[in-house]
Structures are given as C-alpha cells and as structure tokens.
Amino acid sequence: MSDQTSIFHLHLVSDSTGETVDGVARACVAQFPDVQAHEHVWPLIRTDAQLARVLADIERHPGIVLYTVFNSEIRRKLEEGCRRIQVPHSHVLDTTITMMAGYLGQQSRGRIGALHKMDEDYFNRIEAIDYALSHDDGQATWDLEDADVVIVGVSRTSKTPTSVYLANRGIKTANIPFVPGCPVPPELDQLKKPLVIGLIKDVDQLVSIRKNRLRQIERGEGGDYVDPVAVRAEVFQARRYFTERNWKIINVTRRSIEETAAMIMAILNDRREENE
C-alpha cells in the first residue's frame, strides 16, 4: 500500500453478529489517523453460497480481511480463498484464544455467537439499556436509588451517549443536567447506593460545541448558553456543587465517550471492591 493511499478496503467477516470483529477493526484503524477504511461488513456467514459472495467481493475490492469465524469448514474455505486472491487475512481472536487455552489447559469450543447468548448478562444489559433510556436528561428521578451510576453534568458533556455506552455493559445509568438557576432533583442528595459522577468540560470547547449545536437546530444566538463569561461561571458553579457533595469529577474535554465510560467503570469497580 503506497504512502499516498488514504483509503483501503477492509472486509469484516463473521459467522455471528460481527460486533466483535467490528470493534477490533475500529480500534486498530484508529491507530492510523492518515488512512480511511472502506468497510465491507459480512455478518452471519454460515453457508457456502454466502461465503462465495464474500470472496467475490474481496476479489473485486482487494484489501485486508479480518474475521471471527468458528465454523471450521467455512473458515478453511475463507482462508483458502484469501490465499488464492493473495490478500492479508487474520482471525482477530486466534492469538488471545490460543493464549487462554494454554494457560487454562483447555481447548476452546469454537461456539458461534457465544458472546451473544441469552444468559443472565444479556438480560442485565437489556434492563440497563431500558433504565438508561427512561432516566435520560433528568427523567424519572423517583427511583434513582436503583441506578448503579448517576451522571450529572452541564449541557453538551455527552451525558446521554456515555449513559447508553455504560448501559450496553450492563451498568444501570441515569443522567441529570446541571443548569444554572434550576435546582437539581432533591433525590440526588439522598442517594446511598449509586455512584454519582460530575462531568465538566473546557469552557472554549464547550462554547464551540454549543454554537455548532445551535446552528444545527437553527436556534439563533443562544445568549448565556454560548457566552464565554456565562459558560465559565456555569462550569465553576458546577465544579463547586460537585465538590461540595464529594462527587467524583471527570473533565471530558479531551476524552472520547469510551474513555469517559472506562474511567467511570474503573471508579465503580474500585468502589465495589472497597465495599466488599
């Protein structure tokens, strides 16, 4: 691949939903900021006819092939096809599974869709997602005690996507906006079980994001909502409010949603270990 090439074809093949290979691929591509992947996503590939369509597309658009295929026959044919077309290919879980098998002294079972079986964890995730959606942006505050995490933050600190991300990992999360001059729900000061997290952001970035948001929804100038002096006072007030209650504070200025969620999960795990 030449240095001038900025786009390459990336084929993601799975005999299940494809979520695993997609996640690994995105994490890897993110390490190469000067390139862009043109993704060809192929989930639920379980028959020869389906595989033939995949290989035909790979031949039309040669590139990198990443896969999570546990059916031995389909995997063999996919790998043979990739060798024939002469494209690089890799099973993204092979190294990790081999390492675990050696450490545990057991052979993996190669179960298709094992990650997505409808077990207790699956239903916990569904329950957490339902909870996050029904407790978004200050809704349904009467049962906040049922949450694992309550996020409080000024506008445009990614409270909702962070809550949904955590919910997808089975963490029941509510989020509440911090708005100057508007009281937060009194239930917040009575919480015993949930971890409460305060989110803040750099003033300049906050003003920029809010202005972009107003342009998108065609809402005019915005007043104090985008005034740097007012926003600085808002962030200061929020930080002081969070500090007075001894809540953990996360500055999300240069953090992705995933990084913010990872920090919250680490704090939650530490808290749970302390309480054991």
Residue ranges of the binding site: 153-160
Q: Which of 250, 244, 254 is nearest to 264 (CA)?
A: 250
Helices (H), the chain: 19-29, 48-60, 72-85, 94-104, 120-134, 159-167, 203-217, 228-244, 257-275
- 66 near 39, Cβ under 8 Å? no
Q: Which of 266, 269, 246 is nearest to 258 (CA)?
A: 266
- For 22, the token pair is 């997609």
| Residues in the annotated binding site for ADP | 153-160
The C-alpha atoms of residue 252 and residue 273 are separated, in whole angstroms, by 25
